[in-house]
Amino acid sequence: MDVTGERPKHKALGLEDGDLLRIYRYMLLARRMDERMWILNRQGKAAFVISGQGQEAAQVGTVYHMRPGKDYVYPYYRDYAVALALGQTARDQFLSLLAKKEDPNSAGRQMPGHFSSRELNIVTASAPVGVQYPQAAGTALAFKIRGEDGVVLVCGGEASTSQGDWHEAMNFAGIHGLPMIFLIENNDYAISTPKTMQVAGSIAGRAAGYSFPGIEVDGNDVLAVYEAAKGAFERARQSEGPTLIEAKTYRLTAHSSDDDDRRYREQEEIEQWRLKDPVIRFERYLEEVELLDPEKKEEMAAQIQAEVAKASKYAEEAPFADPEEVLQGVYAQG
Amino acid sequence: MPILRRSSKASTRRARLTRKNLLQAIGEGLAEEMRADDTVMVLGEDVGKAGGVFRLTEGLMKEFGPLRVMDTSLAESLIVGAAIGLSVNGMRPVAEIQFADFIPPAFDQIVSEAAKFYYRSNGAWNCPITIRAPYGVVHGGALYHCQSVEAWFCNTPGLKVVAPTFPADAKGMLKSAIRDPNPVLFFEHKRTYRLIKEDVPEDDYAVPIGKAKVHREGTDLTVVSYGLMLYTVLQVAQKLSEEHSIEAEVVEPRTLYPVDKETILGSVKQTGKFLGVSEANLTGSVSAEIAAMVAEEAFEWLDGPVKRLGAPDVPAAAFAKPMTDFFVPSAEKIEATMLELARY
């Protein structure tokens, strides 16, 4: 992050001090919430955890441009910070993690990380990798048909770009100049498979073949991501077509609570990436522009810690749905 | 014919009838829904300028423009996936899969996505899409333009699978499918597109999904059939009546999933005999499921073995005409089986 110029970077991007603290808050909340999820798993309370640690900057930097309830997002299962930045809460995610009746994503039917909110236009997500891309293209096409300025954001990991669905959607988006943004959170791993075995050449470079811009950005630098996404959202809103953003980042945890990543990657590699942790990097920036001092940092940390503890406790005490509810809601009525 | 009229005004009026084939009736139903509702649209391969390979959507692009009648890229998963996304954002898309044989690339979008949207989001998101797919054996169609793939989708809760055979039903059921808040797979037997004409009401009407139809009443045996086989079964039933005084009750499920248990079981309980006839590979077919239902729930009423006729368990119909004809249950075979069962 460049803070050596006359104007801090965020000012040049049109971000106010308040925006920065909000962005920081979403990132930190996502991280602390995520860490708590793993503890609940180790305590035997959560059957399964899937994590977004390390990808908070890529997520918040992009989503911060969205108009919740107007634009649509198709998240993938690591997008906790996407959900939080759009208006879901830590409580929502703990309810989902513990599969409680009140879980707004699925009422205890889906694994955690399978987000859904009609009010926020977070379209229900699933587990097959890549299926969201053609759907997002269709949603963007509806905006185009009606001549509205809505934008659709669709997210996935680098491995999802191996799927035909991704290429079919990229092609379709290019043909019709659809108002959508493909955010690829390239975190280096698909469970154990490294990107070198997943991706030939460059992901961002593929966009050229579909006749629209592809941008490679440091996914651990929230302001760099924000800047890349800013142009992409502007293009989409002005009917100039889709943009692909490849945010280079790193999966700091194992694939899931059922995975042991010591089988396929070195601890040193993880330690190297921890030095580039997006939350810590952004803290450094905030300190440099004097928005964060030790006291303020402590205060926010305590606030978030309390929020996470309260949300977790609420979810732990919340009831399960009646088992027979598994039979309900197969078909929509009317 | 059970016709549900939308307004009381319409129900007091006599419906104007015009003779139409299946292709014309479905095309007309589609055009009417598009005129009545701006959110209804069509997407698929060659559906626009060419009007579809069977010319079912002929004239629609001219009337509704290239965005509401969209020629898509040749990518079935994209076609269905985009339809899902369109429905999420206020549209009522009718996606066309050019031949049912080419639906496998869209399987994930249909089975993992469209069918589960409502359930997995606890009712927050639904998926009102219609997927039309021509199926069934036609001479010259061979392995990849002849398959009956309906059973693949008939153990997927959340989907509705319909296969109306006659023009008036098809028009009314297409309207129901488009208006339904759930994903509906709409199978059309391509050999019947131009085969038989019947009077089709010009008024706006809908035929409900989930209701079977008794085409012919009888007391000696129940035959459940759909598609081209239903035509043959009805002809054979008439012949048996004239030549042997055997009266077969012929039931068309119209909706294959979820199936109308009540009508089928009611018929079997009355006749005591059941035969299922379809063109699909026999093992794991829709007939298999209906036969299991009959065996389980009408056992006490049965006076003969539960019987089925279908295609042999080989991959699909062959290109050579004699082999195609051998593949499909023949009128002779159907007649012999019906006669045997009636006399059992």
Show residues of chain B in contact with A210, CB under 8 Å: none
Q: In chain B, which among 231-260 make CB contacts under 8 A with chain A?
A: none
Residue among A139, A146, A330 minimizing CB distance to B85? A139
Q: Is A163 on the interface with B (CB under 8 A)?
A: no
Which residue from B69, B80, B91, B128 is spatially nearest to A139, judged by alpha carbons? B91
Q: Determine whether the interchain pair A124/B75 forms a contact, defined as Cβ–Cβ distance below 8 Å.
A: no
- Please, what is the average pLDDT of chain B? 95
User: What pLDDT is attached to residue B287?
Assistant: 98
Residue among A126, A128, A172 minimizing CB distance to B82? A172
Which residue from B78, B259, B231 is spatially nearest to B151, judged by alpha carbons? B259
Provide the token pair at A210. Answer: 């579909």
Q: Which residue is it, tokens 């199936």?
A: B259
Nearby residues of A76 by Cβ (< 8 Å), 6 or more positions away:
A125, A129, A132, A155, A156, A157, A160, A185
Pick the CATH number of B213-343 from 3.40.50.1480, 1.10.579.10, 3.40.50.920, 3.30.300.130: 3.40.50.920
Q: Per-residue pLDDT tens for B40-59?
A: 999 999 999 999 999 999 99
Q: Is B118 on the interface with A (CB under 8 A)?
A: yes
Give the CA distances from residue A64 to residues A22, B61, B192, B207, in Å, rounded to whole numbers and listed in that order: 10, 39, 54, 47
SS3 B166: coil
Provide the token pair at B274. Answer: 């059941």
Q: How far apart are the first and last CA of chain B?
A: 32
User: What pLDDT is attached to residue B14?
Assistant: 61
Which residue from A29, A81, A76, A122 is spatially nearest to A312, judged by alpha carbons? A29
Q: In what order do the strands lie in the sheet with A180-186?
A: A72-74, A152-157, A180-186, A243-248, A214-218
* C-beta atoms surrounding A62 within 10 Å: 31
CATH 3.40.50.970 boundaries in chain B: 14-206
For B313, counting Cβ atoms within 10 Å of its Cβ (0-12 exposed, 13-18 middle, 19+ buried), the class is exposed
d(CA B297, CA B275): 15
For residue B101, pLDDT over 90 is answered with yes
Nearby residues of A292 by Cβ (< 8 Å), 6 or more positions away:
A24, A283, A286, A300
The three-state DSSP-derived secondary structure of chain A is CCCCCCCCHHHHCCCCHHHHHHHHHHHHHHHHHHHHHHHHHHCCCCCCCECCCCCHHHHHHHHCCCCECCEEEECCCCCHHHHHHHCCCHHHHHHHHCCCCCCCCCCCCCCCCCCCECCCCECCCCCCCCCHHHHHHHHHHHHHHHCCCCCEEEEEEHHHHHCHHHHHHHHHHHHHCCCEEEEEEECCEECCEEHHHCCCCCHHHHHHHCCCCEEEEECCCHHHHHHHHHHHHHHHHCCCCCEEEEEECCCCCCCECCCCHHHCCCHHHHHHHHCCCHHHHHHHHHHHCCCCCHHHHHHHHHHHHHHHHHHHHHHHHCCCCCHHHHHCCCCCCC
The DSSP symbol for B110 reads I
Residue of A nearest to B108 (CA): A131
User: What pLDDT is attached to residue B4?
Assistant: 33
Q: Let me know: does A62 contact A181? Beta carbons within 8 Å.
A: yes
Q: Per-residue pLDDT tens for B112-144?
A: 999 999 999 999 999 999 999 999 999 999 999
Residue of B nearest to A321 (CA): B122
Query: From the candidates B41, B88, B97, B129, which should be mutated to test the interface with A, based on the most A CB atoms within 10 A?
Result: B88
Q: Determine whether the interchain pair A142/B85 forms a contact, defined as Cβ–Cβ distance below 8 Å.
A: yes
A9-318: what CATH class?
alpha beta
Q: In chain B, which among 134-173 make CB contacts under 8 A with chain A?
A: 157-158, 160
Q: How many CB pairs under 8 A join A and B?
A: 140
Q: Is A136 on the interface with B (CB under 8 A)?
A: yes
Nearby residues of B2 by Cβ (< 8 Å), 6 or more positions away:
B207, B208, B211, B213
- At what angle are helices A56-63 and A278-288 packed, to 10 degrees? 60
> Domain B14-206 belongs to what topology?
Rossmann fold (3.40.50)
Give the CB-side neighbour count of residue B329, counting CA atoms within 13 A: 30
CATH 3.40.50.920 boundaries in chain B: 213-343
10-residue block means of pLDDT along chain A (334 residues)? 68 96 98 98 97 98 97 98 98 98 98 98 97 98 97 98 98 98 98 96 98 98 98 98 98 97 97 97 97 96 98 98 97 93
Would the pTM count as exceeding 0.80? yes
User: What pLDDT is attached to residue B8?
Assistant: 38
Show residues of chain A in contact with B73, CB under 8 Å: 168, 171-172, 175
Confidence of residue B11 (pLDDT cuts 50, 70, 90): very low
ipTM exceeds 0.85: yes
Q: Which residues of A are catalytic?
A: 251, 255, 264
**What torsion do the CA atoms of B33, B39, B43, B47 make, to the nearest 10 degrees?**
40
Show residues of chain B in contact with A104, CB under 8 Å: 124
Residue of B nearest to A106 (CA): B121
Q: In chain B, which among 57-116 make CB contacts under 8 A with chain A?
A: 67-68, 72-73, 75, 77-78, 80-91, 93, 105, 108-109, 112-113, 116
Residue of A nearest to B128 (CA): A332
Q: Determine whether the interchain pair B84/A117 forms a contact, defined as Cβ–Cβ distance below 8 Å.
A: no
Which residue from B57, B5, B62, B63 is spatially nearest to B26, judged by alpha carbons? B57
d(CA A276, CA A108): 35
d(CA A64, CA A226): 8
d(CA B308, CA B297): 17
Q: In chain A, which among 88-117 make CB contacts under 8 A with chain B?
A: 103-107, 109-110, 114, 116-117
